[in-house]
């Protein structure tokens, strides 16, 4: 017996507005909450700030400068470390902002023929940046 060919029923959805077309309501898009971005941190000249502290520690600037650059406890602690020597930055400081008004600074310096690291944390208060931590890692 020869094969029998039969027509298949229509399986495509109807198109257009012809007979049998039933429009489905489209789901409404849900509102998406988009957070408002924080404004950027105020400008920070890390090389100048670190350089000024290093100049005080080397005895090339007066110690009263520390009162403007650091919180009181840190300024007193750094003031005790002043002695005559030569310190120069080897590279530009790297700055990281873990929060909007906080900056963490690291820099490599050459001090008396040795290369050491400086790590500092500065916070922005009353319109200016002040160091809250300053460490020379020898």
pLDDT for 96-132, tens place per residue? 999 989 999 999 999 988 999 999 999 998 889 999 9
Q: For position 113, what pLDDT does the model report?
A: 87
How far, in Å, are 10, 29, 31, 44, 103 from residue 34 at the CA level? Answer: 46, 15, 9, 29, 26
- Which one is predicted more confidently, 25 or 94? 94
- Quote the number of domains for the chain: 1
Residue 37 belongs to a domain = no
Cα distance between residue 22 and residue 48, in whole Å: 72
pTM: predicted TM-score of the whole model, two decimal places: 0.71
* Residue 38 in domain: no
Token code pair at residue 65: 């400068």
Within a domain: 51: yes
Q: What is the pLDDT of residues 43-85, one digit of tens each?
A: 999 999 999 999 999 999 999 999 999 999 999 999 999 999 8
Q: Is residue 28 part of a domain?
A: no
Q: Domain of 77: which CATH number?
A: 3.10.450.50
> Which residue range forms the structural domain that includes residue 117?
46-137
The conformational region for residue 51 under phi > 0 = left, psi -120 to 50 = alpha, else beta, is alpha
Q: Which residues contact 86 (CB under 8 A, 6 or more apart)?
A: 58, 111, 112
| Domain-embedded: residue 6 | no
């Amino acid at each position: 017996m020869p094969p029998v060919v039969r027509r298949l029923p229509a399986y495509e959805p109807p198109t257009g507005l012809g007979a049998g077309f039933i429009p489905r309501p489209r789901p409404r898009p849900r509102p998406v909450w988009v957070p408002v971005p924080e404004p950027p941190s105020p400008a920070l000249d890390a090389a100048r700030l670190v350089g000024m502290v290093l100049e005080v520690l080397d005895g090339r600037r007066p110690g009263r400068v520390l009162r403007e650059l650091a919180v009181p406890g840190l300024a007193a602690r750094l003031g005790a470390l002043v002695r005559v020597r030569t310190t120069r930055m080897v590279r530009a400081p790297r700055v990281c902002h873990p929060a909007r008004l906080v900056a963490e600074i690291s820099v490599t310096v050459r001090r008396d023929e040795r290369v050491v690291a400086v790590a500092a944390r500065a916070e922005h208060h009353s319109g200016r940046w002040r160091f809250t931590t300053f460490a020379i890692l020898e």
